[in-house]
Each structure stands twice: as structure tokens, then as C-alpha cells.
Structure 1
Amino acid sequence: MSTPLSPGAFTFRPLDPLTDGELLHGWVTHPKAAFWMMRDHTVADVEREYMAIAAHEHHHARIGLHDGEPAFLMEHYDPSKVELVGLYEARPGDVGMHFLVAPTDTPVHGFTRAVITAVMAELFRDPATERVVVEPDVGNTAVHALNAAVGFEIAERIAKPEKDAYLSFCTRDQFHAATGAAR
């Protein structure tokens, strides 16, 4: 039996906006998801948002499973086409990422760090991924600590239409050095 933090316990599946809409709604409207800026969204709003992502050639969303149960959301995108267009000089091999851990009444110490580690490992499984790019809100200190724990370094503060963010990068080597993850 796997432990709650066993990396082998994490898997990913494509997100289905209609089937997963209600589940996602509970996650993105929870107070802990304030930085997702979807607190006032209805289930239909969430479904529409993720239908747009599903239809987008350069933006993808997946449900992360822990021991087969939905536990987190992962989005990955081409930052030269989505989210960061014109805000930095994208390189070939850059992949943008967002993640959100589902709210729980029984938190497990270290679970969120295990999730971001699994997300990063999943992104780096693609040999074309050279570096992961994130743009968290400057006020999201919890995610800044998690990002640093898996190797991200803040490059600069940027102004996005919806927030001020820290543009941060993590190369494959930085991820492996920070986490000791197998190559």
C-alpha cells in the first residue's frame, strides 16, 4: 500500500469540463483558492472556463489523482501563446504551469509539496520541456516557498492585467538539484 506522499501514488488524467465542472467549482471557489480569482464563479462559469481551455491548442488542464481519487488540478500551457505573451522573452522548451490542490478537512503534512513535485516531474517527462515558467501573485507567499522548494528562481516582478506577479523559472537541472528527483 502506498503512503500519502508516495510519488507513485500520483497519476494524471485529462480534465473533462462538463464531468469535472462541479468538482472543480468546489476547489476554485474555496477560500484557500483565492489566488485563482474564481471565488464568485458558478458551476456554469467554471465549465465555460475549462471548455475554453479544452478547446485551446496551447493550453491544457488535467486532474491529478492521488491513489485514484481526484486531488489536484494541473494546467500547462505554451507561455509564448497564452498567459505571458509579450511579458517576457519565451524560449523554445518553455512550459507554463498552474496547480491547485483540492481543499480538505484532513490535511496531510507535506502533501502540497509532494503534489508540486509530481507536477514538475510530469512536465519534465516530456523531453521537449527545458524549463517551467510560473507567474504567481506576489502576495502568494505559500506558493513562493513551494516553488523555491522544487527549484524555481524568481526572475522579475511583472504586471499582468489581473495581478502583479513574480515571473519565475525552473530548469530541469534546477528541479533535479532541489528535489533529488531521479532523471
Structure 2
Amino acid sequence: MTFTFRPLDPPRDAALLHRWVTHPKAAFWMMRDASVEDVERAYREIAADEHHHALLGLDEYGVPAFLMEKYDPAHRELTGLYEPRPGDVGMHFLTPATDHPVHGFTRAVITAVMAHLFEDPATARVVVEPDVRNKAVHALNEAVGFVPEREIDKPEKKALLSFCTREQFAAATGVAV
């Protein structure tokens, strides 16, 4: 599977994102009760934030297939919860619910997301902080090279702080970055 990325356009993409983030499968996204307007507002805030960016992953036909966020953990999400290093980049991703799952799709998505992040030579390490209860994403993270460090308490959840270096990603996936 091949994916490309484009910046998320909040007014244009809000209805699509609303369907994705309010689905029961997206419970860990914590937007289940959001309105379309709430989703658009949240992503307008991200679009205006120099330390946080939202991108849509597009399939080979240019159709939106997943959501990716990248952020500077020294300024967003993890401020004060760990000691950031130069080159750290935080990441979230969401694959939408589907009635026709494709085997290996989510693994292909996280691999593409990581490869995209490591295309930037300034990215030395990717940081994630998924909910400790989200066992499915922990398994995906480990499959692409993430190593859990410890649990942390965020205002909205207990999270598993994990890291993946460029070398760990390449060793786990065979993708040269």
C-alpha cells in the first residue's frame, strides 16, 4: 500500500473527520460526543498552532484513508511529563472504522506515518503516549520499533510513554529511512 499526505483543511475535512472520530472504534480519540463544529474548531486550533500539525493520509487514488498528527512534545501534549531531546517528534494516528477491513492496513498506515516522520532529517525519535488500555495500538507501536518507557498521568488519561528511534524503526520494519 502506498500513501501520500496532505495538510488537513478543517472546513473541508470536518465532516469526514467527524465520522471518523465519533465512531465507537475511535473511543481513545476522546471525541465521541463532538459535533461537526467541535471537530472543525479543534482542527482549526491545530492548524493555527506552530507546534502541532494534522495531515490526512491519502490512498493511491487520493482518497482520505487516515488521520495523522505530529507535534513538538516540548510544547504540546507532553510538556513537563518527560525530558524532551532535540529531534523528538510526537505522533498520533487514526484509521477510520470500516465495514470492509483490509488485512495489514493499519500496520501499513503506521509504517507510512513513521517513514513520513523520518523523512525529515531533523527527526531523531518519535514519541507516543497512547492510553494504557489501548492494547491494539501498543502492539502496532512495538511492531514498528517503539519501546515503552513508562506510564504517565496526563490530564485526560493514563498513558504509555514510548519511543522509537530511526534505527529502531528501520530494524523493526526493514524500511530504510
Instruction: Indicate the TM-score class for this superposition, using the shorter chain for normalisation.
Output: over 0.9
* Partner Cα separation in structure 2 for residue 28 and residue 166 of structure 1: 21
* Partner Cα separation in structure 1 for residue 81 and residue 105 of structure 2: 32
Q: Structure 1 residue aligned with 2:10, among 9, 17, 25?
A: 17
* Partner Cα separation in structure 1 for residue 132 and residue 59 of structure 2: 29
* TM-score normalised by the chain length of structure 2: 0.98
CA positional deviation for 1:182: 2.1
Does residue 171 of structure 1 match 2:165? yes
Residues 45-102 of structure 1 show CA distances to partners (whole Å, capped at 9, x for unaligned) of: 0000000000001000000011111000000000000000000000000000000002
Does residue 58 of structure 1 match 2:51? yes
* Partner Cα separation in structure 1 for residue 25 and residue 4 of structure 2: 23
Which consecutive residues of structure 2, in runs of 5 or more, have no partner in the other structure? none
Q: Structure 2 residue aligned with 1:30, among 23, 38, 48?
A: 23
1:75 counterpart residue number: 69
| Superposed counterparts of 1:19-168, under 5 Å | 19-67=12-60, 68-168=62-162
* TM-score normalised by the chain length of structure 1: 0.95
* Partner Cα separation in structure 2 for residue 165 and residue 15 of structure 1: 26
SS of corresponding position for 2:150: strand
Runs (4 or more) in structure 1 with deviation over 4 Å come to none
Which consecutive residues of structure 1, in runs of 5 or more, have no partner in the other structure? 1-5
Partner letter of residue 168 of structure 1? Answer: S
Question: What is the RMSD of the two structures over their aligned residues, measured on CA atoms?
Answer: 0.5
* Partner Cα separation in structure 2 for residue 47 and residue 111 of structure 1: 26
Residues 94-148 of structure 1 show CA distances to partners (whole Å, capped at 9, x for unaligned) of: 0000000022110001100000000000000000000000000000000000000
CA positional deviation for 1:44: 0.1
